[in-house]
Every structure is written in structure tokens, then in C-alpha cells.
């Protein structure tokens, strides 16, 4: 039974992905709700039926009071069958209706609705560009991905568990009172008008207050995760107190926003108690007055009393359900600031896979300034022949890393064109472009998974023998065999910690190199690929690096000039432009920037003065 209801909706069902999802709340919710519409219909219908049954039982309680006016024998003779049918209904039919209602809510909707939103939201966010991630806290993004699905699930739950039920219950209560005596509607209607005014007042304030509190919580998460992710820097600079102050500002703001939210609920509760007193005295008092005048039976008084006491118990629950509904809508609205962001960097409508058979790269009038007037690249024209090895040097901020990011299409250039074998990279799919590029970065962060999983990121279908061979080429196999994590996993099964923190910088770099060896892409981008290695290890894997380069087009960024002196051509960048190019000896003979860098080297590095 559980499995049937749990499988009514597949949260991973295929759907048309949108680059620009709805940015308004209800259209946003509707998009995610489409697979659930049939289930929603039955949940809503059952909610109304369950409410009608509850009203019917209250009505019948009043009828029983009136029927018990005769002798027991007469009552049983005239109404015994009726009582038996009612008892069977209460014992068997009513529980079935209630169980079906609960199964739809608890087993069909809640687990699957949140899962669907989290899956699609994560899928959408993963499609965002590198630049998009660079403009936000990873912790805040993750927090919104995690808190939005349960909030949206709570919204749906309250719609069917409380809102539709209470609407049906109120309509049924009005019908019941009207059937007894239409005048009993007067206090109910008066109470409802005041109750609706209180709901309106509460909802108008809870939504913004809830969104402010949710945003404040996300900020706390972002700051805390930022501290934890950079714990080495925190400890190294002894900034424990600084990080506490930084977090305390956000935590205190969270406390204040939560206090403001709770004040609203306190006022609501206070007014609600008074309103419910008016409801009880109004309806029950009027019913007693009608009975005293001979215009209502004892059963009517009993039913009216039971109904108002039930409404009295329900009103606080309904109010909390409504405020929870709008509070969670506030959380969803805050999460939409991340989840509903349009994808800015998309494949062209007719994008095709990159077909690379030579590996030639052309840059035509390439400029990119990150939305500023200066910085980045400025009118770069360059042709890199297939199989050519290019060394790229320059002061910090000269534009080297920007060039690499544009080649990977992490950003779209402001102006100009990048061609791979004559194909504009804006007209090919991003995945196919990056599948042809092997990249080793200076910041060789790894996934918090096993060493094997990290290596297989280079080529998921590689065999165990190929994985080990790549690790050996990168001088990583021996230290990998000695690894053991706190859970007792060893060797290639050992987990490396967040961003590879359990490995040394040199070990992370060698794992990264092994991953690129395994990928075996025709184009190599090396950004300070040996910066984290000591001289002995670097010397040991030089043959690996040069072996990786054979038959490939290579662009290598380095401050250690000795590592690129043997390149086919060296490009010197300054202020976003290529100011010198040529072989090592040719550039020394020019006595320009490269010659200055070389002369100022100490141990093969650019000195701080040369680096600007």
C-alpha cells in the first residue's frame, strides 16, 4: 500500500528545462506542481469529504440528543438500524477516507514534491556559469537549495491539510447552523469577518517578516561555511575572534528578524482568543435563547455548542496553518532569488558538438573586461597552430587567467571571437568544448570523495588499470597506497576531505595531474601546474608533463620561467595585451619585459618586483 502511494509521482520524471524559469511566485510553484496535478485533485477532494464527514457527525450528535427523548425501547425500535449503519460508517468508512487522505499527503505529495524541487533546483544551479558562482557564497546557495523544497512542501501540505479542510468545514458549519435556524448564522458571519481581518493583518506582516528571517539565516549559513571552508587561513592568521565577530553580526541580525516575526504571532494569538470568546458566546448563547423561546430543540443547542467548541479549537490551528503557509511562501520566495535565476551562459539554439581533428586555436580581436572599463583582456589577436606549445607569462592581473577562462567559455567575451579548428566556441556545446580540454589549475581542489572518484572525473569509463597507470605517471601511486581516512578506507578508496584538505598541496597537484593524464584531451591548459610541487617531485614528473604535451596544443601559464623556457613560443602579457612573443633566446635578445623577468629571477621564480 505504501509503495503504491509513494510511486504515484516520479520526482525525477523528464521535463523541459528552462533557461529563464518563472520569477513570480505562483507561476514558479505551478511549474513544479505539474506532475502532481492529478494527485492534488484527489487530495483536495478527499479534504473536502473528510471535512463534510466531520460536520455530519456533529449534526448527527444533535440528532441523537433529540432522539433520546423517548424510551430506550422506542428509540431502539425506531432508530436501531440507523445507529448500526452510523456505527459501521464511523468504524470502517470514515477511517478509510481519512487514511486515503493522509496517504496522499504524507506519502504521495510531501516526500516527492520536495525531492522534485531539490533535484530540479540543483540541476538548474549546476548549469549556471562559473562567474555566477563567484558572485555568491557557496553556503548560501546550498542553504537555499536545501530549505526551499521543504518550505514548498509545507505550502502544499497546508493547502490540503488545513486551508481546503477549513474552507469546507466553515461552509459545512454555515449550512448546519442555517438548517437549524438561519439566525444562528449572524454571530458566525460576524465572527468570520473579524477573523478574516485578523488573518489579513497577520498574513500581510508574516510574509515579509518570514522572508527577512529566511534571508538572515542564509547569510549566517554563508558566513559560517565560508569560515569552515577557509579554516586553514583562519588558524594561520589567528583570526578566531575576527570570525566570531563576523558571524555574530549575522547571527544577531537573524535573532532580531526572528523576534520581529514572533511579535506578529503574539499579537495574533491575543486577538484570536478574544475573537473565539465572541464566537462561543454569540452562537451558543443565541442557540440557548432560541431554545428558551421554544424555537430550537436541545439537539440544536448541543450541535451548535459542539460546532463552536470545535471551531474554537480549530481557529488557532487554522491561523497557524495560514501563517505557516505564508511564512513558508516567504522562504520559497527567498529561495527563488537563487533557484529562479536565469541561465546567462547558454548553448546557442543550434549548437553542435565541437569536432576537433587538429587543435588549432585562433583569437580574433578578443576583449573582456568583466563589465568594467579596465582589466581583463584588450584586443587580443593570436593564432596557435595545432600541436604548438605556448608559454604564457606576465605580471599578476595581466590577463592570463582571463584568457584561460574565455577559452573554457566560463565567460562569453565582451568582443571578439575564439575559434577551435575554425569553429566559433559560442556555436558549439559547452560540454563538448570542455571535453576536449585538459586543465591543471594552480588551486588543485578535489571533490570530497575517494581518490578513485577524483581520478575518474577525468574519464569515467576508465578501467582500474588505466587509473593506476595515470597515477604512476603523475608520481602519485605510491603515496595513494599509504592513504587512510578516519573511516578506515585505504588507498584509492580513501576520501580526501573537502577540497582535498587531507592531502598536501603537492599530493593534490599530483592527483590533479593524474586526472588530466587519464582524460587525455587534445588541448592542454596548464595554470601553474607544478607550483605546489617541491623541486624533487617536479623533476620526477617533468617527463610526465612533456609526455602529456606530445601531439597536443598546449598553453602553459607559469611564474617559474624555467618550466616554459623550452616551449615553442612564449607570450608576454601586460595590461591585457600581448606585448612580446617569440622563443626564449629571441625574447632575451629583445631585452624587453621577458629579459627583465628572467634577469630578476631567483631560483626560477618571478620576484615580487617583476610581478608588479
> Are 319 and 425 in the same domain?
no
- Among the candidates 339, 367, 387, a domain finishes at 339
Residue 391 structural domain: 359-434+557-606
> Are 280 and 429 in the same domain?
no
Could you tell me the pLDDT band of residue 536, with boundaries at 50, 70 and 90? low
Which CATH number belongs to the domain containing residue 599 in this structure?
Answer: 3.40.50.300
> Are 231 and 320 in the same domain?
yes
> Are 241 and 384 in the same domain?
no
> Are 330 and 392 in the same domain?
no
The pLDDT tens digits for 210-263 are 778 878 888 888 888 888 878 877 887 888 888 889 889 999 999 999 999 889
Q: Is residue 157 part of a domain?
A: yes
Across the range 173-202, mean pLDDT stands at: 84
217 contacts: CB under 8 Å, gap ≥ 6: 143, 147, 254
Helix, coil or strand: residue 553: strand
d(CA 454, CA 492): 10
> Are 301 and 400 in the same domain?
no
| Model pLDDT, residue 532 | 55
The pLDDT tens digits for 438-447 are 988 877 778 8
| Model pLDDT, residue 601 | 67
Helix ranges (DSSP H) in 351-391: none
Q: Is the pLDDT of residue 36 over 70?
A: yes
Could you tell me the pLDDT band of residue 540, with boundaries at 50, 70 and 90? low
Q: Is the pLDDT of residue 491 over 90?
A: yes
Residue 27 has a CB neighbour count (10 Å cut-off) of 11
Query: Per mean pLDDT, which range of 145-149, 298-302, 419-423, 591-595 is the poorest?
Result: 298-302
> Are 165 and 72 in the same domain?
yes
Q: Is residue 448 part of a domain?
A: no
> Are 229 and 291 in the same domain?
yes
Query: Per mean pLDDT, which range of 56-70, 100-114, 335-349, 565-579 is the poorest?
Result: 56-70
Q: Is residue 543 part of a domain?
A: no
DSSP per residue, 63-104 = HHHHHTTS-HHHHHHHHHHHHHHHHHIIIIIHHHHHHHHHII
| Model pLDDT, residue 612 | 42
The pLDDT tens digits for 407-437 are 999 999 999 999 999 999 999 999 999 999 9
Q: Is residue 207 part of a domain?
A: yes
Could you tell me the pLDDT band of residue 138, with boundaries at 50, 70 and 90? confident
| Model pLDDT, residue 609 | 45
| Model pLDDT, residue 399 | 87
d(CA 210, CA 262): 10
Most confident of 107-116, 311-320, 337-346, 532-541: 107-116
> Are 325 and 382 in the same domain?
no
The pLDDT tens digits for 504-522 are 877 888 898 899 999 999 9
Do the beta carbons of residue 298 and residue 345 sit within 8 Å?
no
| Model pLDDT, residue 287 | 84
Closest CA to 530 of 540, 521, 520, 522: 540
- Among the candidates 339, 370, 401, a domain finishes at 339
- Among the candidates 276, 306, 339, a domain finishes at 339
Q: Is 53 exposed, middle or buried (0-12, 13-18, 19+ CB in 10 A)?
A: middle
Could you tell me the pLDDT band of residue 603, with boundaries at 50, 70 and 90? very low
Which CATH number belongs to the domain containing residue 179 in this structure?
Answer: 1.20.1560.10
> Are 415 and 329 in the same domain?
no
**Distance between first and last Cα of the chain:** 71
Q: Is the pLDDT of residue 57 over 90?
A: no
The pLDDT tens digits for 296-319 are 888 888 888 888 888 887 887 887
| Model pLDDT, residue 493 | 94
Across the range 172-177, mean pLDDT stands at: 84
> Are 253 and 392 in the same domain?
no
Query: Per mean pLDDT, which range of 97-106, 120-129, 267-276 is the poorest?
Result: 267-276
Q: Is residue 87 part of a domain?
A: yes
Q: Is the pLDDT of residue 610 over 80?
A: no
Across the range 281-295, mean pLDDT stands at: 84
- Four-point Cα dihedral 468, 472, 473, 474, nearest 10: 100
| Model pLDDT, residue 535 | 66
Closest CA to 45 of 89, 104, 96, 127: 104
d(CA 217, CA 215): 5
Q: Is the pLDDT of residue 41 over 90?
A: yes
Q: Is residue 444 part of a domain?
A: no
d(CA 368, CA 379): 9
Q: Is residue 517 part of a domain?
A: no
Across the range 66-71, mean pLDDT stands at: 79
What percentage of residues in the chain have a pLDDT greater than 70?
95
Q: Is the pLDDT of residue 604 over 90?
A: no
d(CA 499, CA 548): 25
461 contacts: CB under 8 Å, gap ≥ 6: none
> Are 111 and 176 in the same domain?
yes
Number of domains in the chain: 2
Q: Is residue 299 part of a domain?
A: yes
- The more confident residue out of 372 and 49 is 49
Amino acid at each position: 500500500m505504501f509503495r503504491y502511494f509513494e510511486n504515484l509521482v516520479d520526482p525525477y520524471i523528464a521535463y523541459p528545462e528552462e533557461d529563464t524559469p518563472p520569477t513570480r511566485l505562483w507561476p514558479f510553484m505551478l511549474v513544479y506542481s505539474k506532475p502532481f496535478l492529478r494527485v492534488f485533485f484527489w487530495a483536495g477532494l478527499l479534504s473536502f469529504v473528510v471535512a463534510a464527514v466531520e460536520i455530519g457527525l456533529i449534526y448527527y450528535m444533535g440528532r441523537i440528543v433529540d432522539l433520546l427523548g423517548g424510551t430506550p425501547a422506542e428509540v431502539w425500535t425506531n432508530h436501531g438500524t440507523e445507529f448500526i449503519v452510523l456505527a459501521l460508517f464511523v468504524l470502517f468508512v470514515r477511517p478509510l477516507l481519512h487514511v486515503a487522505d493522509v496517504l496522499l499527503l504524507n506519502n504521495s505529495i510531501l516526500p516527492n514534491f520536495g525531492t522534485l524541487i531539490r533535484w530540479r533546483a540543483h540541476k538548474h544551479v549546476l548549469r549556471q556559469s562559473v562567474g555566477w558562482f563567484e558572485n555568491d557564497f557557496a553556503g548560501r546557495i546550498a542553504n537555499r537549495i536545501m530549505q526551499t523544497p521543504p518550505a514548498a512542501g509545507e505550502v502544499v501540505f497546508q493547502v490540503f491539510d488545513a486551508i481546503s479542510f477549513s474552507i469546507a468545514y466553515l461552509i459545512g458549519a454555515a449550512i448546519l447552523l442555517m438548517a437549524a435556524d438561519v439566525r444562528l448564522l449572524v454571530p458566525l458571519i460576524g465572527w468570520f469577518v473579524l477573523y478574516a481581518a485578523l488573518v489579513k493583518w497577520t498574513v500581510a506582516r508574516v510574509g515579509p517578516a518570514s522572508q527577512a528571517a529566511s534571508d538572515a539565516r542564509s547569510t549566517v549559513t554563508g558566513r559560517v561555511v565560508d569560515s569552515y571552508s577557509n579554516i586553514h587561513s583562519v588558524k594561520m592568521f589567528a583570526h578566531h575572534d575576527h570570525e566570531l565577530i563576523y558571524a555574530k553580526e549575522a547571527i544577531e541580525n537573524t535573532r532580531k528578524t526572528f523576534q520581529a516575526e514572533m511579535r506578529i504571532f503574539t499579537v495574533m494569538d491575543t486577538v484570536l482568543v478574544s475573537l473565539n470568546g465572541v464566537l462561543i458566546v454569540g452562537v451558543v448563547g443565541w442557540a440557548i435563547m432560541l431554545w428558551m423561546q421554544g424555537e430550537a430543540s436541545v439537539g440544536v443547542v448541543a450541535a451548535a455548542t459542539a460546532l463552536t467548541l470545535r471551531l474554537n479549537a480549530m481557529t488557532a490551528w487554522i491561523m497557524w496553518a495560514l501563517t505557516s503557509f505564508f511564512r513558508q511562501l516567504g522562504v520559497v520566495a527567498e529561495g527563488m532569488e537563487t533557484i529562479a535565476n536565469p541561465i546567462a551562459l547558454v548553448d546557442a539554439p543550434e549548437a553542435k558538438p565541437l569536432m576537433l581533428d587538429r587543435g588549432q586555436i585562433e583569437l580574433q580581436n578578443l576583449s573582456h573586461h568583466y563589465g568594467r572599463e579596465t582589466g581583463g583582456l584588450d584586443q587580443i589577436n593570436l593564432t596557435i597552430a595545432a600541436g604548438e606549445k605556448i608559454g604564457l607569462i606576465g605580471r599578476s592581473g595581466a590577463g592570463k587567467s582571463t584568457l584561460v577562462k574565455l577559452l573554457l567559455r566560463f565567460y562569453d567575451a565582451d568582443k571578439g571571437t575564439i575559434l577551435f579548428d575554425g569553429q566559433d566556441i559560442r556555436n558549439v556545446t559547452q560540454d563538448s568544448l570542455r571535453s576536449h580540454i585538459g586543465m591543471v589549475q594552480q588551486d588543485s581542489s578535489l571533490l570530497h570523495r575517494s581518490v578513485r572518484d577524483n581520478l575518474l572525473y577525468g574519464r569515467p569509463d576508465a578501467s582500474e588499470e588505466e587509473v593506476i597507470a595515470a597515477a604512476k605517471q603523475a608520481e602519485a601511486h605510491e603515496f595513494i597506497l599509504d592513504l587512510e581516512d578516519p573511516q578506515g578506507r585505504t588507498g584509492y578508496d580513501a576520501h580526501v576531505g573537502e577540497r582535498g584538505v587531507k592531502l598536501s598541496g603537492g599530493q593534490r597537484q599530483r592527483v590533479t595531474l593524474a586526472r588530466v593524464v587519464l582524460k587525455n584531451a587534445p588541448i592542454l591548459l596548464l595554470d601553474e601546474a607544478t607550483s605546489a610541487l617541491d623541486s624533487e617531485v617536479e623533476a620526477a614528473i617533468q617527463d610526465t608533463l612533456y609526455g602529456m604535451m606530445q601531439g597536443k596544443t598546449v598553453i602553459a601559464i607559469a611564474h617559474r620561467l624555467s618550466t616554459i623556457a623550452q616551449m615553442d613560443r612564449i607570450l608576454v602579457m601586460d595590461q591585457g595585451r600581448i606585448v612580446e612573443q617569440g622563443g626564449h633566446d629571441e625574447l632575451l635578445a629583445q631585452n624587453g619585459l621577458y629579459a627583465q623577468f628572467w634577469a630578476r629571477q631567483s631560483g626560477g621564480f618571478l620576484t615580487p618586483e617583476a610581478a608588479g
